[in-house]
Amino acid sequence: MASDRQYFAGLVAVCIGLTAYRIWVIHLLGIDTYVDEAYYWGWSQHLDWGYYSKPPMIAALIALSESVFGHTLVALKLPALLSYPGTALVLFAIGRRYFSARAGFWSGVTFMTMPLVAALGLFVSTDAPLLFLWSLGLYALLRALDTASWRYWLLVGFCFGLGMMTKYTMAAFAGSAFLVMIFSPAGRRQLASLKPWTGFLVGVALFIPNIVWNADHGFPTFVHTAEITRLESRAFAPGEFLEFMGAQWASIGPFLGIALVMVLIRSSRLWEHEQSRALVLMTLPLIILVSVQALTGRANGNWAAPSFVGACLLVPAYFLMNDLKRMLAWAVGINVLLSVAIYHWPQIYALSGHTLTAKKDPYKRARGWAALAEQVRPYTNQYPDAAILATERESLAQLIYYLQPKRWAAWHPSDHVMDQYELTAPLTDDTPGPFLFVSEAPDVTRIAEHFDRSTYLGVAEVPVYPDLTRTRHLFLLEGFKGYK
């Protein structure tokens, strides 16, 4: 029987190996930045307490990473590349303490090999630090229930506050934690003390700067969150519900998904164990909440991602309690094969003798941007005082990331803000020209009529696939006359 130290060392080796492999895959795929990554990088160059669609944590982490490792693609992605192994190690700590070191090892491995983590592991996103803070908050919560220690309750609050500064999904942590306490004798006793409430107030205090920032800017993040969840337009949408459930099944993996359903249905044995009961309560409510959202409006597949923290503890524990370790190994092995297939799909498809197209490439949205920026660079060099102007977020995000211009502006004739550029850098009467307008369409008559002079400069064109060409037409616009 392996010792606790051996299981821990084994998991560390898995984390290091998978992280190194993912860095290699990033280079092998030859991908550029995904639009959200370039978008977040722009935030990181102007640190603030909030941004249009997200709280500030992701921007702060990218800024920290690049301050240490420089302006490279891997440095941009490093907050995600490191957050996932960090989460796996926290899961080991929870599993070892409340089940066994073997359960902790398999919990960490299950998490690191989930298709969701495999896919997101190549890109920086808010989900990566969110999952880490959720798992660390769960560890602190369980320890606080065990020990009634101030330090663990303060750690719960610290994780909750930083989680809220990462993504508002962390609000569900507070609700689930309250349920955990209600269903725990130790939790009910401690609800009568100051400790959990002080921890909660610590979390709220950490979140206050983002609330103040939102108040100063018209609450754009709250408005955006309401818009994407369609809070004002509910409708019965069984199709979206089925799509969401399919995404959950694909996220955890085919066999582990079935096992999770079995655990949640037949969890009476786990329910008798206080810590495993807590894991059920930290898993099921968010899944139910987002499922209802999917059934009545809209829900993205990753909105319930924190539920997989508890799931990656429950499922291995269930398998090991029922002496099904071989099935667990097979389930994880299948996820590894799926991850490898995802990473090497371009090479696998090439072996079939067919030419890869945009429709067949899951990474198409992260291709062609660096080359496109290089074709635009001569124009920015020719007109160094011109601000880059565009009507859509993708062009601005990618060109700002690769060219790092002095100035940029967003075409924004309406009052409704749709992104960070429209919030902080809208084209107004006071914006000094000239402007290097980057357009997907060659005809910009409707926009050019708002300027005294419009000069067509040329076109940047990058053929990515036979069915995908990155094309941007460039114009020099001078003398902005306003939107009317």
Q: Would you say residue 230 has pLDDT above 70?
A: no
Residue 303 lies in a domain: no
Q: Are both 329 and 372 inside the same structural domain?
A: no
Weakest-pLDDT range from 117-121, 284-288, 391-395: 284-288
Residue 450 lies in a domain: yes
Task: Kindly state the average pLDDT of the residues 19-48.
Answer: 96
Top mean pLDDT of 64-68, 246-250, 255-259 is at 64-68
| Percent with pLDDT over 70 in the chain | 97
Q: Would you say residue 224 has pLDDT above 90?
A: no
Which has more pLDDT, 374 or 4?
Answer: 374
Task: Kindly state the average pLDDT of the residues 32-37.
Answer: 96
The per-residue pLDDT for 240 is 76
Task: Kindly state the average pLDDT of the residues 161-165.
Answer: 98
Q: pLDDT band at 442, cuts 50/70/90?
A: very high
Q: pLDDT tens, 87-102? A: 999 999 999 999 999 9
Task: Kindly state the average pLDDT of the residues 62-78.
Answer: 97
Q: pLDDT tens, 322-357? A: 888 888 899 999 999 999 999 999 999 988 888 889
Task: Kindly state the average pLDDT of the residues 470-477.
Answer: 97
Q: Say how many CA atoms lie within 13 Å of 61 toward its Cβ.
A: 25
Q: pLDDT band at 254, cuts 50/70/90?
A: confident
Alpha carbons 481 and 413: distance in angstroms, whole number: 12
The per-residue pLDDT for 299 is 72
Number of domains in the chain: 2
Angle of helix 127-147 relative to helix 150-164, nearest 10 degrees? Answer: 160
The per-residue pLDDT for 237 is 66
The per-residue pLDDT for 297 is 65
The per-residue pLDDT for 268 is 65
- The residue segments making up the domain with residue 472 are 368-480
Q: Are both 473 and 326 inside the same structural domain?
A: no
Q: Are both 475 and 340 inside the same structural domain?
A: no
Q: Are both 328 and 409 inside the same structural domain?
A: no
The per-residue pLDDT for 3 is 85
Q: Would you say residue 241 has pLDDT above 80?
A: no
Q: pLDDT band at 296, cuts 50/70/90?
A: confident
Task: Kindly state the average pLDDT of the residues 181-187.
Answer: 93
Residue 226 lies in a domain: no
Q: pLDDT tens, 104-119? A: 999 999 999 999 999 9
Q: pLDDT band at 270, cuts 50/70/90?
A: low
Residue 112 lies in a domain: yes
Q: Are both 340 and 374 inside the same structural domain?
A: no
Residue 124 lies in a domain: yes
Task: Kindly state the average pLDDT of the residues 15-32.
Answer: 96
Q: Are both 89 and 180 inside the same structural domain?
A: yes
Q: Are both 342 and 437 inside the same structural domain?
A: no
Q: Would you say residue 311 has pLDDT above 80?
A: yes
Q: Are both 470 and 376 inside the same structural domain?
A: yes
Residue 363 lies in a domain: no
Q: Are both 105 and 194 inside the same structural domain?
A: yes
Give the domain-ending residue among 298, 314, 346: 346
Q: Would you say residue 236 has pLDDT above 70?
A: no
Q: pLDDT tens, 393-439? A: 999 999 999 999 999 999 999 988 999 999 999 999 999 989 999 99
Alpha carbons 330 and 170: distance in angstroms, whole number: 32
Q: Are both 11 and 117 inside the same structural domain?
A: yes
Residues 6+ apart with CB under 8 A from 10: 2, 105
Q: pLDDT band at 234, cuts 50/70/90?
A: low
Tell me if the pTM is above 0.75.
yes
Residue 470 lies in a domain: yes
Q: pLDDT band at 477, cuts 50/70/90?
A: very high
Q: Are both 337 and 418 inside the same structural domain?
A: no
Residue 273 lies in a domain: no
The per-residue pLDDT for 64 is 98
Q: Are both 332 and 438 inside the same structural domain?
A: no
On average, the pLDDT of the chain sits at 92
CB-CB contact of 139 with 90 (8 Å) = yes
